[in-house]
Structure 1
């Protein structure tokens, strides 16, 4: 590829040249550059081919929303390390907290000894929990581990075996979490048998489930929820043998699909009627990403358990299962993790929460709303934009062959993402044919405008003639 000049990158920009020069990407070499090409070749030789790399980005350093590759090219990061770098790359407060803690204590293992840090974070999280306290917490190292904890705890607490999950869900890649996942066949191919007792049902993906307006969408969402009670429970699954229903309030890997409030309320009612635990997977949608601490808060529904990871520690590995206190009733030895609750990771999480509370929540709500307002106009302007949806800084845009047929066209989506990368903005796909926008919560309006300028240009360039 040839180097992308400033003039090429700003074809569809509404921002001024001065704004672009100050806030936009800065590309110095062909993409990928020579050092990146060498590293990619070595990676191919040495690393597991199971990793999914969307494009040849070889990161070296990052500050704020900017990430620099090994050849000195600066990109605007609208993927945030898959919604992990909630406070941006290397936020100075997070870095200092990590450095200070690393100089004091790296590890002792919270499964066998005690850390004051674990209590501090639990108290902070309890104060912002989406359900009334008291609460209890389990610390692991990832979202998948948080989900594994919730899965095991639901069975332990209820004495029941079955779990209900949803098509399109992504809950992780460990065997229990993978058994709950219903996203892509390749994630499960040649890995069976899975954990038994998992039943998948339809998620309220309105764009793919109905063609009408808001009223029809709400009716469709209720039908998806009521199917559990009206069909599943009356045919193959006794409700008294169901331990939990697990769901993402906004499906991440599935396509950034927002669950309607009436769907979430109905799921809560079903759980209440049958003594079933309601688990919400907030691994991608939580930690302030939607403008509230947890995406479930937009509905007013109170879950029994919350799975937390990704953005809660700004890039440090930490997974958390938060429950109502009476639910976490297992005894010592039932479940543990050697590295879970590592003091360095918890220090990062405490600093992250400070930044999110001070500026991230409000910024996500304000900048996200302006992005949604602008992107919503693209449906009328671009025939290949089928749907725009999301909350806060968790926004998905669905790419289709045309709006009438709504035919998924993943190849065009991938082309748009690649074109944006060549122009210095990092996006990622999700679902069959959608693009996800999940920048750090500290993104400025100027940076958002530039990223949307580039994205809109790429949508136009990728469209069939």
Structure 2
């Protein structure tokens, strides 16, 4: 993310960046300046990198499908006409599926509108695929589900199966900085590169993109009726094996059920299944890409049992 941030400013000659509330882009100073998911991630680290403006990310569950276009158009129709001249914006950073913001997939129309805005104003569109990339959603990149092509893609985590590696991918004409403008002491580590190449080979050779899509669809079909069936479940959403189950105290007010979410995760842990929270009240489901339908069923059965217990 630091590389993408520096590159966007260098290539464009512009200073300002747009990011989204709920986003998590990292904890180093530049990436942290883009992050807006939890106050404890930013507390006592100011001043952060200047020139970052945060705007709302679509919340279709609470505000409906119309929120997708509304959030994107706010940038052009309000922000650019009041406080942020578009010719001074270098890039828009977006997660095609928000990781720490509640496992929220970006609606297709939202991403398409961002692409239109960027094209119109000469702004770079940066896709943070650190959590959602390398097959996690059933495609190499989550943004592929929307048909939108970004200018820069950031990837890490799953790309090297646990070895430390991150990549900033873009066109040669965008990465036009002179040698020495950006570097990393351990960048291009041969062992990590070998691990990444092996990972990509396994994903292709074993058909893990197809498996991720099939098992993910199977899991979402099993959970599709949970908002009606379970007292705590407000929404089930996701792509591939990147699924979020949002818990609420009340189906009408959609008040976030944070303590209940934590209790469900704890109960599942006691039964041998690991889940993790995402955002204030969502359970993230992100099993390995090799997960079978039978294994997924075991996890879903345990989660359903824990939801029933926590909802009593």
TM-score by length of 2: 0.99
- State whether structure 2 residue 283 is matched by structure 1 residue 435: yes
Please point out which of 386, 392, 412 is paired with 2:234.
386
Partner of 2:136: 289
Partner of 2:146: 299
Distance in 2 (alpha carbons) for counterparts of 1:239 and 1:402? 41
- State whether structure 2 residue 253 is matched by structure 1 residue 405: yes
Map Cα deviations across residues 57-106 of structure 1 (whole Å, 9 max, x no partner): xxxxxxxxxxxxxxxxxxxxxxxxxxxxxxxxxxxxxxxxxxxxxxxxxx
RMSD: 0.7
Please point out which of 42, 56, 61 is paired with 1:207.
61
Q: Secondary structure at the match of 2:238?
A: strand
- State whether structure 2 residue 41 is matched by structure 1 residue 195: no
Distance in 2 (alpha carbons) for counterparts of 1:249 and 1:341? 26
Shift in Å, 1:402: 2.1
Distance in 2 (alpha carbons) for counterparts of 1:443 and 1:378? 22
Partner of 1:182: 36
Shift in Å, 1:340: 1.2
Distance in 1 (alpha carbons) for counterparts of 2:35 and 2:103? 15
- State whether structure 2 residue 221 is matched by structure 1 residue 373: yes
Partner of 1:315: 162
Q: Secondary structure at the match of 2:283?
A: strand
Distance in 2 (alpha carbons) for counterparts of 1:337 and 1:244? 22
Which of the two has higher C-alpha Rg? 1
Write the mapping of 1:139-158 to structure 2, written as runs, cut at 5 A. Answer: 147-158=1-12
Map Cα deviations across residues 18-38 of structure 1 (whole Å, 9 max, x no partner): xxxxxxxxxxxxxxxxxxxxx
Distance in 2 (alpha carbons) for counterparts of 1:404 and 1:172? 34
Q: Which shows bigger deviation, 158-167 or 378-387? A: 378-387
Please point out which of 349, 352, 364 is paired with 2:199.
352
Gap regions ≥5 residues in structure 1? 1-146, 211-215
Write the mapping of 1:16-27 to structure 2, written as runs, cut at 5 A. Answer: none
Distance in 2 (alpha carbons) for counterparts of 1:413 and 1:351? 36
Please point out which of 73, 90, 106 is paired with 1:259.
106
The count of residues paired between Structure 1 and Structure 2 equals: 311
Gap regions ≥5 residues in structure 2? none
Q: Secondary structure at the match of 2:196?
A: helix
Please point out which of 72, 93, 97 is paired with 1:246.
93
Distance in 1 (alpha carbons) for counterparts of 2:59 and 2:13? 32
- State whether structure 2 residue 249 is matched by structure 1 residue 395: no
Structure of greater relative contact order (alpha carbons < 8 Å, 6+ residues apart): 1
Shift in Å, 1:360: 1.3
- State whether structure 2 residue 7 is matched by structure 1 residue 160: no
Partner of 1:337: 184
Task: Flag as ranges the 4+ runs of structure 1 deviating above 4 A.
Answer: none
Write the mapping of 1:132-143 to structure 2, written as runs, cut at 5 A. Answer: none
